[in-house]
Amino acid sequence: MHLFTINVKQILLPCLLVGTCFLNAVAQVPDSSAAKTQDSLQRVTDNRLKVTGIIKEASTGKPLDGISISVPGYSASITEEDGSFSIAVPDYDAALIISGEGFHTKEVALKGRSSVNTILYEENYKSLYDAVNLPYGNKLYSHTAGAVKSVNTTDRWQRVSESPDTYLQGRVPGLNSVRRSGTPGVGSSVFVRGTNSLSTSNQPLYVIDGIYYDNNDYGISLLAGHVENPLANIDLKDIDNITVIKDATASTYGTKAANGVVLITTARAKDQATRIDFATYGGYNVKPSNIPVMNAAQYRTYLSDALGGYLNTPGIDPYTAATLRQNSELYLNDDPTNVNYYRYHYDTDWQKQVIGGSYNQNYYMKVTGGDNIATYGLSVGYLNNQGITKNTDLQRYQTRFNADLNLTEKFKGSANLSFVSNQQNLKDQGLAYNTNPIYLALTKAPFLPAFEVSDNGTESPNYADVDIFNKSNPASAIEDMQGSTRNYRLRGSIGFSYAFNKELKLSVLGGVTFSKVRETIFVPQKGIVSDTLTQYQCRAFVLLIQRYAPFLQ
């Protein structure tokens, strides 16, 4: 080993000496040779083909400064104050990429021209230069052959209580968004190119920031007419772009994309400068006008005519006829000395008992920024939206964090994290004939009181019980009956990408979603018709029993 080391030293020393002499010889080359080399490079630069032009704004025709013009992989330039530019091109068949903050990115083919004058449209303008987010990357709409539609949420700051599915209503050809009801956050049913199945779901596949978003309904709500909508957990102000894929372009996601795909891209930092956006909204929900119904006198006349016609029907059961005559003496009696006179001589506005004006408020703040290593976007929000049906509301707390990391020149990473918590107080809707307060308000006899009444006409603070027509008390359904749903969803993902070259890139993306929904319902014994389980609630109980029966054995 010692001898080997000596030999290596003996070989390296002459090499180093030769190398030093060579460097010295190069250093002694006259400066005239270097000057000739620089002159040659300058001539090459000066001899490159040039393209000049002017960039203007489409709406006003004014020249735009600071607009970027580039030939990918070759050269780049920026417009002057008068909108003019000059850029070197490899040939006059190249294409210029023109982009600027607040404007569409535009691609202009030279087609042999050496001068180009063009215009740029603002971001909210719908054109062929819209950016389309596809599963394999971003492309211009003009370069897409499939049935794809891009929706830029430029007006998202003006939308207070919209969810992504309701926002798409009327914005995408071939997409039909049908709102389920007017309940805040209930969302809509989305159909892409009609109904495709009779036995399975017709909803499209939702993909948010590259991760599949679970929007399935795993059971029927205990609250009649209510549908859980996970898309309501996404604030529209957190969304930059929504792309709807309607044809075979969605085959990247397999059979789950048979009904189309809705790609949602959440807001990220667009530049490194720190930017703080804050929005607050407040509003008043005006009580709608009453649906015209009969007053107490009209309804009493209607019952008298209907009862007279029914009692004269041939073959009527004597017991039934006797019961009807006995009950009619209660509400058709105009004798003030009768003990039941005051109980059946009201003129109650039942719609006023269950519907009223309400307030809503929304607070939202987003902070974006970063540096050349990492950029971030952090948003927090609070929503309190009260319904026009009394004692109904929706409260939501949310936060979202997105980050993009430049680990190396070729190796990049991204992270997404969001958490949403909802608490909603609801009332039965739809076909719940005994517990739906709005239905009861439209069908309840107006000459009946909302509270218990004594023989001398004194009202009690207690709500009246079920009436002689076996109808529930709408006021009791509003004040005493309770129904609420609480849910939260935690969602996170992390991804890495490595670019081997301009044509080949490897990306890995993984995520996790944790969601929990809890519903509670309370039906009072007084004021509500007994055994009031609706068909929805009965089916929900059956499904719960079937699901957990194996664990109970």
pLDDT tens digits along 160-185: 667 888 888 888 888 888 888 878 77
Write the CB contacts of 520 (distance below 8 Å, at least 6 apart in sequence).
Answer: 222, 482, 483, 484, 485
Task: Report the mean per-residue pLDDT for the chain.
Answer: 82
**Higher-confidence residue: 356 or 317?**
356
What is the reported pLDDT for 354? Answer: 94
537 pLDDT above the threshold of 60:
no
pLDDT level of residue 310 (50, 70, 90 thresholds): confident
Mean pLDDT of 422-428: 91
8 pLDDT above the threshold of 80:
no
Cα 395 to Cα 246, 360, 364, 426, 514: the distances in Å are 34, 10, 14, 12, 20
- φ/ψ of 448, rounded to 5, equals -95, 150
Distance CA 325, CA 532 (A): 28
pLDDT level of residue 271 (50, 70, 90 thresholds): confident
Distance CA 244, CA 264 (A): 9
What is the reported pLDDT for 539? Answer: 57
Mean pLDDT of 260-273: 87
Number of residues in the chain: 553
Distance CA 332, CA 338 (A): 11
249 pLDDT above the threshold of 80:
no
21 pLDDT above the threshold of 80:
no
Are the C-beta atoms of 463 and 452 separated by less than 8 Å?
Answer: yes
* Partners of 418 in the β-ladder: 400, 491
Q: Which fold has domain 48-124?
A: Immunoglobulin-like (2.60.40)
Are the C-beta atoms of 120 and 114 separated by less than 8 Å?
Answer: no
Mean pLDDT of 219-244: 85
Q: Which residues of 342-358 are buried (b: 16+ CB within 10 A; e: fewer)?
A: bbbbbebebbebbbbeb
Distance CA 258, CA 307 (A): 57
* 122 CB-side CA count, 13 A: 6
Distance CA 496, CA 17 (A): 48
Give me 425's structure tokens.
């107080």
- φ/ψ of 344, rounded to 5, equals -125, 25
Instruction: Say if strands 358-370 and 275-285 run parallel, antiparallel, or are unpaired.
Output: antiparallel
What is the reported pLDDT for 26? Answer: 34
Q: Which of 392, 365, 168, 413 has its CA nearest to residue 267?
A: 365
pLDDT level of residue 27 (50, 70, 90 thresholds): very low
Mean pLDDT of 342-367: 92
Distance CA 536, CA 542 (A): 10
Alpha-carbon 416 to chain mean position: 16
